[in-house]
Amino acid sequence: MTFYGYKRPDGRVGVRNKVLILPASVCASDTTRIIAQQVVGSVTFNNQQGCSQVASDQQLTMDVMAGYAANPNIYGTVVVSLGCENCQMDLVVKAIQERTNKPLKQVIIQEVGGTLKAVDIAVRYAKEMVAEASLLQKEEFPISELIVGTECGGSDPTSGLAANPVIGEMCDRIVAGGGTAILSETTEFIGAEHILARRAATPEVHDRIFEIVHRYEAALRLVGEEVREGNPSPGNKAGGITTLEEKSLGCIHKGGHSPVNAVYDYGKQVESKQGLVIMDTPGNDPSSVAAMVAGGAQVVVFSSGRGSPTGNPIAPVIKITGNKLTFAKMEDNIDFNAAPLIYGEKTLEELGDDLLNMVVETACGKQTKAESLGFTEMAIARVCNYV
């Protein structure tokens, strides 16, 4: 199976062709918004971090920034920093260049003489980059070039009964085709981590799966909090999910049935042609999706029983529900209906094929519902409070 995508100079293949206006910190985020508004074909996001962070916290921010710039859906990046933030321009540029050799420009607001001058310079850089990007022609590539991220949010019992198993079938097909699928959301392995650990390809991966779950629980306990506070959410419970363990046992179906070949830390670069891998991310959707996209996922498949609108600035996010009422009510937000599995109208195999086709169509350029609505919300995971 093949798709049409954009070959990047670092050898990776993108499914979109955008220019990223990257804010190095919260203090550059309003400026990048103004820049992106002036340049059709560019994207940006609201970076709430980048300064006043301890080292481990700053590392998460740096990994997402560098990973976003390196994501193959991005043609090139204009980094905009204020100048005095912890995520200094030279650090951000170095982190990006460690991941990719794609076009890169930089503007430091305090050095060029304020917001208006920075906007002028960055808009001209970005317009030039968009013009270069627009000359690129798509080429045909095997699906082994795809890294597909998986996510569930606003879950209800149909997520575990239908939507997540269908995502799992699709992942099995991506893995069989030589590609990569990422299972994420460590807080939603809790109570199901033993099932994933049994599927670990090596003893090291087995131990890492238990380690990331225990580490997450311990981190919350350090600040006197319990992972069960707020999880399951009120919406999960109204939908019929009773406990975190029940939510987790539904969540892990997204990974399908392949061996787990690796466990990646938050936002780290995922190698292509890896089969099924895990990334250590929060259950919080925008920050988990951000980590997988930073890891190189070109497409994300996202299940939601209640109906989540979440998109992403860089990767198309395909929405799937197993709840027939939600699909009827929120068709403007949901791309794929997995409910026929519950009612015996379609088999898991048929729906897995259908979803794989939708992933390939999306990779070829078809807009998702979240893209057509212009939804680009995102967040970056945190270790602790600002300093």
Stretch touching another protein by CB under 8 A, among 38-46, 123-131, 150-158, 308-316: 150-158
Give phi and psi for 363, each to the nearest 5: -60, -35
Q: Stretches 22-30, 154-162, 310-318, 368-376: which one binds another protein (CB under 8 A)?
A: 154-162
Q: How far is C-alpha 237 from the chain's CA centre?
A: 25
Q: Does 320 bind another protein (CB under 8 A)?
A: no
Task: Say which residues have a Cβ less than 8 Å from residue 256's Cβ, sequence separation at least 6.
Answer: 167, 168, 169, 170, 171, 172, 175, 181, 276
Least separation, in Å, of the C-beta of 193 and another protein? Answer: 6
- Taking the complex as a whole, how short is the minimal distance between the CB of residue 263 and another protein, in angstroms? 15
Q: Is 343 in the site for another protein (CB under 8 A)?
A: yes
Closest CA relative to residue 367, chosen from 15, 10, 67? 15
Burial 225-245 (b: 16+ CB within 10 A, else e): eebeeebbbebbeebebeebe
Element (H, E) at 115: helix 115-134
Q: Which residue has the tokens 């395909």?
A: 318
Interface pick for another protein out of 210, 348, 353, 382 (rule CB under 8 A): 210
Nearer to another protein, 305 or 313 (CB): 305
C-alpha to C-alpha distance for 106 and 79, rounded to whole angstroms: 5
Q: Is 349 exposed, middle or buried (0-12, 13-18, 19+ CB in 10 A)?
A: exposed
The stretch among 73-81, 157-165, 309-317, 351-359 that binds another protein (CB under 8 A) is: 157-165
x/- contact string, 250-269, with another protein (CB under 8 A)? Answer: x-------------------
Whole-angstrom CA distances from 99 to 12, 67, 92, 94, 262 are: 11, 7, 11, 9, 19
Q: How far apart are CA 258 and CA 158, in angstroms?
A: 22
For another protein, the binding residue among 110, 134, 202, 242 (CB under 8 A) is: 242
Which one, 50 or 157, has the nearer CB to another protein?
Answer: 157
Of 26-34, 73-81, 118-126, 194-202: span binding another protein (CB under 8 A): 194-202
By CB under 8 A, tell whether 249 contacts another protein: yes
Nearer to another protein, 25 or 158 (CB): 158
**What is the smallest separation between the CB atom of 324 and another protein, expressed in angstroms?**
9
Residue ranges in contact with another protein by CB under 8 A = 156-158, 160-161, 190-195, 197-198, 210, 214, 228, 237, 239-240, 242-246, 249-250, 305, 323, 325, 342-344
